[in-house]
Every structure is written in C-alpha cells, then in structure tokens.
Amino acid sequence: MADTEGLDNKSPLYFITGFPTDCEKLLSAFEATGSVRYENFSSIWREMKFSRVYCGRESQRELSMFTCEALRFALKMWLPPYKFQTRVGALYLIYGMYFSQPLEPKEKVSETFQFATTSIISLVCHLTYSLELTRSVSRFSLF
C-alpha cells in the first residue's frame, strides 16, 4: 500500500499515516467472509471501531484534510486492479466514512464517483438478489 514513513507534515499522506494499514485490515477481514453483503462489512467496521479513525485530530482543519485524503485513498481501493469483493468493500468503506465524518458541512465525494457508486450499488444488489434467488430455486428443484 502507501508508504507513509518519513513524510513531513506538508505531505498529504502525512494526515493519513496508519490509515492505509487499517483499511487493508478491514478489507482483508471483509474478503475473508466470502460475501459482498453490507451487513458483514458493517459488523467488521463496528468490531474494529473504525469510526474512531476521526479521533485525535488537533483542529477542524486537520480533520478536514484527513477526511479528504482518507476518502481519496479509499477511492483508489475501489478502482481496478483490486478484486471485485475488495472493491465492494472499498465502496462500503467510502459510504461509512462519509456518513460517520464529524464535519459539518461534510467533505464531498466527487460527482463522478457518486454516479459510479450508485451504479455499483445497484449491481451488487442485483447480484446478491440473483444469487439468493438461484440458491432458493435450486433447493426446490426436482432435478
């Protein structure tokens, strides 16, 4: 992932030191579930107390810069070459981070990304529904 060692406090990655490692742990645990369900992701998020990632910022400005850079980093994990399940987890990560950020007004996610997330959420819902439907039908199959 991102190498944040030796960065000075002027580097954008300075504000997210440790965050890439936390993301990897969260997404690895999500991958281990073998699922793309939000409830599984949410359970891991709560176990890791991931919403506390915003704690300890010294000022509103630092909190804002951290949030912006963290969302940007999470967005990179949503893009290829990551596996589909990791990308879905990254989407959930962005969703969770956006709605748990303590800023008012909230840091924005780009419009292009918002369009793409709406599309992929629809795709995930469709795939999950199709998979459950296939499993249900196969249980009652006579052949």
Q: Is the pLDDT of residue 1 over 50?
A: no
Distance CA 141, CA 81 (A): 38
Under 8 Å CB-to-CB from 102, ≥6 apart: which residues?
Answer: 54, 63
Give the global pTM. 0.69
Of 16-20, 81-85, 91-95, the one with minimum mean pLDDT is 16-20
